[in-house]
Amino acid sequence: MNKALQIVLRTTPEQDQRLLALQRAFAQVCNAIAPTVAQTRIWNRVALHHMVYRTLRAQFPAVGSQMACNAIYAVSRMARIVYQHPASPFLATKMPSGPLPLLHFVDTAPVYFDRHTLSLKDGQLSLFTLDGRMRFELGLNADDERSFREHKLREVVLSRQAEGGFTLRFGFTDGLDDDDTAPERKANPPAIAAVQIPEYVMVEEAA
């Protein structure tokens, strides 16, 4: 069973600018990865990591090693939806030859964190930015704290709100699912008949 907790960050204007810079940089890294996926038709996270990691570290040194890994995860995750969902108009099996349509992440794309780039202790949050760690007091209630104690943290996603500001979404799991062991089931929840490609990703038809 999966569970999610969403928290609105109380940021200053200076903090907003730092998070916007991180969001833009993360999208740039994702867009550097996407052509490799389209050309090779490989989006398994581990295989993709071996193909692009060294190039990313050289091209985007300020992003850091773990954020590069998180961008690989973000692209792999989105590729499973766009290329693997049976209802997707870009289903890879319907295009047996040539490059796949290219994924393009816009600057509003969410940023994925993990235990190396985000930590939480005694209600205080510390997260990675391009110019050092940023810290917040979250003020978790008893139910929220219980989620962190009793469930495995699967992913943490930073998103920009339409009205301004940022939210962090903590996704928990019971620990039975692995990100790459059942990608089709994860990308295609039984209750969803049609693919839902988020607005922060554009799919550009192959030339």
Residue 186 has pLDDT above 90, yes or no: no
Average pLDDT over residues 120-133: 88
Closest CA to 130 of 67, 72, 183: 67
pLDDT score recorded for residue 38: 97
Q: Find the distance separating the first CA and the last CA of the chain, reported in whole Å.
A: 42
Residue 71 to residue 26: CA distance in whole angstroms: 7
- Cα dist from 14 to 1, 18, 27, 114, 165, whole Å: 38, 6, 20, 23, 11
How confident is residue 160, by pLDDT bands cut at 50, 70 and 90? very high
Check residue 187 and give its pLDDT. Answer: 45
Grade residue 206 by pLDDT with cuts at 50, 70 and 90: low
Query: In one letter, which amino acid is 9?
Result: L
Apex 139 CA angle, 135 and 144, nearest 5: 110
Question: What mean pLDDT comes out for the span 75-98?
Answer: 94
Question: What percent of the chain shows pLDDT beyond 90?
Answer: 61
Is 87:3 a contact under the CB 8 Å cutoff? no
Distance from C-alpha of 102 to C-alpha of 137, rounded to nearest angstrom: 39
> According to the model, what pLDDT value does residue 196 have?
84
**Number of domains composing the chain:** 1
- The confidence score (pLDDT) of residue 182 equals 41
Distance CA 71, CA 111 (A): 8
The pLDDT assigned to 140 comes to 77
Mean of the per-residue pLDDT values of the chain: 87
- pTM for this one? 0.86
List the one residue out of 204, 205, 206 whose CA is nearest residue 105: 204
Which pLDDT score is estimated for 178?
Answer: 46
Residue ranges making up the domain that contains 192? 3-204
When pLDDT is averaged across residues 116-130 and rounded to a whole number, the result is 88
